[in-house]
Amino acid sequence: MGPLTMFEQVEAAASAVRGRCGELPRTAIVLGSGLGDFADTLLDAVSTPYGDLPHWPASTVVGHAGRLVVGTVHGRRVAALAGRAHFYEGHDLSTVVFATRVMARLGVRELILTNAAGGINTSFAQGALMLIDDHINLLGSNPLVGPNDERFGARFPDMSEVYSRRLRGIANQVAAARGITLDHGVYAALHGPSYETPAEIRYLRAIGADAVGMSTVPEAIAARHMDVEVLGISCITNMAAGVLPQPLVHDEVMETARRVRGSFIALLEGIISAL
Ligand code: HPA
């Protein structure tokens, strides 16, 4: 027997999840750096370390616990993914989107992608939450590179509305009803892991980016490939390089994410209850 195809690996992980997580999730949420606490708010939860799921990539970053929690929020079954694989860890993008593919094969219809990001738009404050309207892929690659497996989706998927207008509408309504300020803008994804230079940030601003980070775009592309609806939320954990006269440090990213924990969790809960 030859090596398993990506499709077979995804199916193996999906059946492992089916075997242990009770009622299957309809919505999945990827929790970004420092935003993992939401996973602890789920009821009737089954928590599985990524290492216990076949073929699942391990997460090596501080602040990414690396567990799948399937549980209930306002009567709705959801999967919370605390920890994700990043391109900068050395994974192929096909590995980076493994979890996304498993979620889609489990029958998830909406994927909420969250991340920590640097603020390029100077009207943003540190700690702001930004709804992702659209993205710019500057990773230098794409998770769909290579032979296309039609069981996942079409060769040339449309990207004209990656971030669902319907889900953005719901997020805006929930934020307004709960008094949570929600900015919106374009997210640019870079390979990392070094942060950007001030010149790179000026370049990103010139091409229309409002926030910058090192994740989310691969998962969004793979989700659209599999016809899953996507919502993206960035926590602006810091102003991007050169905006303020100070260096960027990962600790600041984690600290800001923890500070907005309350409104972030309230926003997610509200969105899930409105789905
Ligand atoms: N740049 C890139 N990625 C990030 C940043 C940043 O300023 N902050 C959090 N993730």
Centre of ligand 1 from the C-alpha of residue 209, in Å: 13
Q: Ligand 1 within 6 A of 53 CB?
A: no
Short-list 173, 199, 193, 185, CA closest to 236: 185
Domain around 129: 6-274
Q: From residue 27, give the alpha-carbon distance in Å to each of 57, 90, 149, 195.
A: 21, 28, 23, 31
Give the per-residue pLDDT at 69.
96
238 within ligand 1 shell (Cβ under 6 A): yes
Whether 200 is in the pocket of ligand 1, judged by its Cβ within 6 Å, is no
> Into how many domains does the chain fold?
1
User: How far, in Å, CA of 79 to CA of 215, rounded?
Assistant: 19
What local confidence, expressed as pLDDT, does residue 26 receive? 95
- How far apart are alpha carbons 9 and 97 in whole angstroms? 12
Residue 1's pLDDT is 61
Q: Does pTM top 0.85 for this prediction?
A: yes
> Closest Cα to residue 257, out of 237, 231, 228?
237
1 found inside a domain:
no
CA–CA dist 238, 256 (Å, integer): 8
- Would you state the pLDDT for residue 222? 98
- State the CB neighbour count (10 A cutoff) for residue 15: 14
Q: How far is the centre of ligand 1, averaged over its atoms, from the C-alpha of 126 (Å)?
A: 12
Backbone angles phi and psi of 92, in degrees to 5: -65, 155
Q: Which residue has the tokens 């939450």?
A: 129
Q: Say if 79 falls within a structural domain.
A: yes
139/168 Cα distance (integer angstroms): 24
Ligand 1 centroid, distance to 211 Cα (angstroms): 8
Sign of CA dihedral 126, 254, 219, 146: positive
Q: How many CA atoms lie within 13 A of 139 on its CB side?
A: 25
Tell me, rounded to whole angstroms, the distance of Cα 75 from its chain centroid: 23
In tens digits, the chain (275 residues) has pLDDT values of: 678 999 999 999 999 999 999 899 999 999 988 888 899 999 999 999 999 999 999 877 665 569 999 999 999 999 999 999 999 999 999 999 999 999 999 999 999 999 999 999 999 999 999 999 999 999 999 999 999 999 999 999 999 999 999 999 999 999 999 999 999 999 999 999 999 999 999 999 999 999 999 999 999 999 999 999 999 999 999 999 999 989 898 998 888 989 999 999 999 999 999 99
What integer pLDDT is reported at residue 245 of this predicted model? 87
Cα 168 from chain centroid (whole Å): 15
Domain assignment of residue 99, yes or no: yes
Task: Give 250 Cα–ligand 1 centroid separation in angstroms.
Answer: 8
Strand pairing partners for 72?
43, 77
What's 183's domain CATH number?
3.40.50.1580
State the amino acid at position 155 in one-letter form. R
Kindly state whether residue 152 falls inside one of the protein's structural domains: yes
